[in-house]
Amino acid sequence: MKKVININFQGQVIAIEETAYELLKQYIDSLKKYFSREEGGEEIVNDIENRIAELFGNRLKLGINCITDEDVQSIISSIGRPEDFDTEYQESVYAYGETPFEQFASTSEQPKSEPDGSERRQTLYRNANDKIIAGVCSGLAHYFKIDPVWMRIVFVVLFSVLFWVYLILWIVLKPKALETNVARRLYRNPNDRFLGGVCGGIAAYFKIDTWIPRLLFAAPLFLNLMGMISIPFFPWNRFFDNVDFNWNINMSVVVIYAVLWVIIPRATTVKQKLEMMGEEEYIKSIRETVSDNVASVKSKTDDGDNYTKPYAATAAVAGDPEKVSLDAMPPEPPRFHAAKASANATAGSGNTGCLNALGILFKIIFFAFAGIFAVVTTGMMIAFLVAGTKFVPLKSLFIDQGYENTLLWLSAGLLFAVPIISIIVWIVRRSMKAKSRPVIGVVSIILWVVGIFSATMLGFKVAEKFSVESSAENVQALSAFSGDKLYVDMAVYPSDYYSFSRNFGPGSDLDNFPYYTINEDSLLFSNIKLQIVQSQDSLYYVRTISSSSERDLKIARKNAGEFTYPLQQQDSLLFLPEFFSAPISQGFRLQGMIVEIAVPLGKKIEIDERLDDYDNFTSNSSVRRKLKKSRNNKTFDWDYGEEYILENGGLNKTVILTDSI
């Protein structure tokens, strides 16, 4: 009693005894191994499978219910085992290569192809079959018998070092079409994709559900968004309360995905899908889709492309690894035409050495430029990063944490990263000669527009912070002192502070930017305008008008009132602080201050040159209104380091220097 199973073999459903199936499976596997090193080996196996399918069909037509062991045995003996045609094979190569073909080749002026002994050794080539740029990684992977994706990851990670290695290998190595020599490979899965099929491919490779890699990729973003959306009743919120949009993690996930998208090839042919999913799974899926409608599949696949023919016969191969390994490795098949490509290459280098040298020269020049470009771009990126870190403390002065911060990163990422990534993708796809995919363009344009949109939103948000202006006024009378001259000097800020100014190289004028106190609790501004007016009585007065902008008048008013500007008076000496300070929580809101010294009639004043460090303040509307309101708003012109006397409704120098001196 034997179990009979149905297999889908080359588009035919065939009832076969299980033992016969095992036999067939082993046989086809041995054929595969045998032909695996020959160019078009798969096609040969495919043809033989076709033939077997036909012989099966003939047998079943005779009215036999199923294929038995004997049937398989007789078919195998008619086709022959690899051991049987091995010796013939070697000789055929000899005969073929030496006698008829040589003659033929010489007449038809074909490059002479000779059986290349060195080919038997493992040699390093660039893989012409499976390449992203030049096939170097793929060739290396072939040499080490690993999945090219791992090699590519190594090259991407160690880009700066291996870039030159890559170039050298590109120049030195010959291209050659290599067949994959690994059973399982990581592909992008076109049948199970959300974006590029990367997750689908990873899932297929590790035999897990697709949602697992997808979740891994999406989790950082998801967690972040959870944290950012401050829904009060959302109980989890407290876990993520202070989670900001984490640029580093989220962006690196995006970059990793993009890189994987580029370096992992898409499984297009059936063979690739087979390598991606593993044979059993693939057969399962094929069985589901194909077996009900054999005819339609068959006609579809008859269009001449052998490689896309349903490879269902590999059902015969799926199975025990033990059995496979027990099989003696069939003798190495000769490669006669496999040598074609390399023979051409050698012939090329022999015949047209001059042209070849020229080509190599061009390559070297091209790559020298490419290398310089790469170095420069890397340098620029690093420079930007360094410069960017300097701006980081500034950012918080304009941008609130949370929503606005997210907008900032989102727009920066989309506006800059999207064009860069799409250019890279375009170049890569061009060099791969991949079919153009308009989807990529559309998606990147949409993302870019989203970037513009969010940047605009952010712009409005930031601009809004400067929409209303308010000011606070404070008048302080100086205590009377003997003498009739007030000397105004600067009280230098007693401790260190962080400064932004003059750190950005030439051309940047950031003097107006505030400084930080050392413990980062307040901002220091030198945004002060000093002016002199006439006092209404016999006392000196100091009036300070602080002003600030905000999106809300109340806050602006409150902010303006929070400035500290301590005056110190020692008899006739008045010290004005170097900075006025505001709490750092205010952020940068165009804080400014007018310091107005009122001088009584007939009294003198001199302002020390050190106060020249004050920046001239362009008053906001609220301040202008305040100045207008005061009855005596006439300000005088004056210079630092000069003694003035207020008399006759004007401020006059006490010492008049004439040009003659």
Partner 1 sequence: MNIENTQSQMRKGVLEYCILAIIRRNEAYPGDIIDEMKNAGLQLLEGTLYPLLNRLKNAEILTYRWVESTSGPPRKYFILTEKGEKFYDLLESTWIELSTGVNVVVNGNYSKEDTVVNDNLNEPNTTEQ
Kindly state whether residue 175 participates in binding partner 1, applying the rule CB under 8 A: no
Kindly state whether residue 38 participates in binding partner 1, applying the rule CB under 8 A: yes
Report the nearest approach of partner 1 to the CB of residue 334 (Å): 9
Report the nearest approach of partner 1 to the CB of residue 48 (Å): 5
Instruction: Please report where in the chains the tokens 């008076």 appear, as a residue.
Output: 569
> Please, which residue, 337 or 429, has the CB nearer to partner 1?
337
- In the list 4, 13, 15, 44, the residue contacting partner 1 (rule: CB under 8 A) is 44
Part of the chain binding partner 1 (CB under 8 A), chosen from 32-40, 161-169, 620-628, 635-643 = 32-40
> Please, which residue, 41 or 139, has the CB nearer to partner 1?
41
Kindly state whether residue 40 participates in binding partner 1, applying the rule CB under 8 A: yes
Part of the chain binding partner 1 (CB under 8 A), chosen from 240-248, 273-281, 298-306, 460-468 = 298-306
345 contacts 339 by C-beta, under 8 angstroms: no
Q: How far apart (Å, rounded) are the C-alpha atoms in residues 346 and 336?
A: 15
Report the nearest approach of partner 1 to the CB of residue 250 (Å): 51
Give the C-alpha distances (Å, rounded to integers) separating 303 from 45, 49, 300.
Answer: 18, 18, 7
> Please, which residue, 109 or 322, has the CB nearer to partner 1?
109
Kindly state whether residue 400 participates in binding partner 1, applying the rule CB under 8 A: no
Report the nearest approach of partner 1 to the CB of residue 90 (Å): 9
Kindly state whether residue 37 participates in binding partner 1, applying the rule CB under 8 A: no
401 contacts 244 by C-beta, under 8 angstroms: yes
Report the nearest approach of partner 1 to the CB of residue 177 (Å): 12
Kindly state whether residue 189 participates in binding partner 1, applying the rule CB under 8 A: no
Part of the chain binding partner 1 (CB under 8 A), chosen from 211-219, 256-264, 299-307, 526-534 = 299-307
Report the nearest approach of partner 1 to the CB of residue 209 (Å): 35
| Sheet (strand 522-525) strand order | 497-498, 515-517, 522-525, 580-583
Report the nearest approach of partner 1 to the CB of residue 306 (Å): 9
Footprint (CB under 8 A) of partner 1, residues 476-495: none
Part of the chain binding partner 1 (CB under 8 A), chosen from 57-65, 342-350, 611-619, 621-629 = 57-65
Residues sharing a CB contact under 8 Å with residue 638, sequence separation 6 or more, in sequence order: 532, 607, 644, 651
Q: Which two tokens stand for residue 144?
A: 């080490």
Kindly state whether residue 53 participates in binding partner 1, applying the rule CB under 8 A: yes
Q: What are phi and psi of 599, to 5 degrees?
A: -110, 130
Nearest one of 275, 268, 269, 267 to 317, comparing CA atoms: 275
Q: How far apart (Å, rounded) are the C-alpha atoms in residues 380 and 223?
A: 32
CA angle, residues 585, 590, 593, in degrees to nearest 5 = 100
Report the nearest approach of partner 1 to the CB of residue 266 (Å): 26
Q: How far apart (Å, rounded) are the C-alpha atoms in residues 216 and 484?
A: 78
Kindly state whether residue 50 participates in binding partner 1, applying the rule CB under 8 A: yes
Nearest one of 185, 183, 214 to 197, comparing CA atoms: 214
Part of the chain binding partner 1 (CB under 8 A), chosen from 36-44, 148-156, 486-494, 522-530 = 36-44
Footprint (CB under 8 A) of partner 1, residues 195-254: none
Part of the chain binding partner 1 (CB under 8 A), chosen from 44-52, 399-407, 585-593, 609-617 = 44-52
Part of the chain binding partner 1 (CB under 8 A), chosen from 54-62, 243-251, 266-274, 642-650 = 54-62
- In the list 20, 24, 48, 410, the residue contacting partner 1 (rule: CB under 8 A) is 48
Give how many residues touch partner 1 by CB under 8 A: 50
> Please, which residue, 53 or 450, has the CB nearer to partner 1?
53
| Sheet (strand 485-491) strand order | 568-570, 573-577, 485-491, 604-607, 643-647, 650-653
Q: How far apart (Å, rounded) are the C-alpha atoms in residues 125 and 148?
A: 13
Report the nearest approach of partner 1 to the CB of residue 285 (Å): 21
Kindly state whether residue 54 participates in binding partner 1, applying the rule CB under 8 A: yes
Report the nearest approach of partner 1 to the CB of residue 342 (Å): 14
* 457-466 LR contacts (CB < 8 Å, sep 24+): 457/407, 457/411, 458/399, 458/404, 458/407, 458/408, 458/411, 461/404, 461/407, 462/398, 462/399, 462/404, 464/551, 465/398, 465/549, 465/550, 465/551, 465/587, 465/589, 466/549, 466/550, 466/589, 466/590
**Residue 205, CA atoms < 13 Å, CB-side half-sphere:** 21
| Sign of the CA dihedral running 335, 336, 340, 343 | positive
Q: Which two tokens stand for residue 479?
A: 């205590």
Report the nearest approach of partner 1 to the CB of residue 58 (Å): 6
Q: What is the DSSP-derived secondary structure letter of residue 661?
A: -
Report the nearest approach of partner 1 to the CB of residue 6 (Å): 16
Q: Which helix (H) or strand (E) holds 109?
A: none
Q: Residues 566-605 vs partner 1: string with x where CB under 8 A? A: ----------------------------------------
What does the DSSP assignment read for 403-461? Answer: HHHHHHHHHHIIIIIHHHHHHHHHHHHHHHTPPP-HHHHHHHHHHHHHHHHHHHHHHHH
Footprint (CB under 8 A) of partner 1, residues 78-137: 78-82, 84-85, 87-89, 91-92, 95-96, 99-101, 103-104, 107-108
Give the C-alpha distances (Å, rounded to integers) separating 344 from 153, 337, 351, 362.
Answer: 32, 11, 10, 21
Footprint (CB under 8 A) of partner 1, residues 317-336: 333, 336
Residues that bind partner 1 (CB under 8 A): 10-12, 31, 35, 38-40, 43-44, 47-48, 50-51, 53-58, 61, 78-82, 84-85, 87-89, 91-92, 95-96, 99-101, 103-104, 107-108, 298, 302-304, 333, 336-337, 340
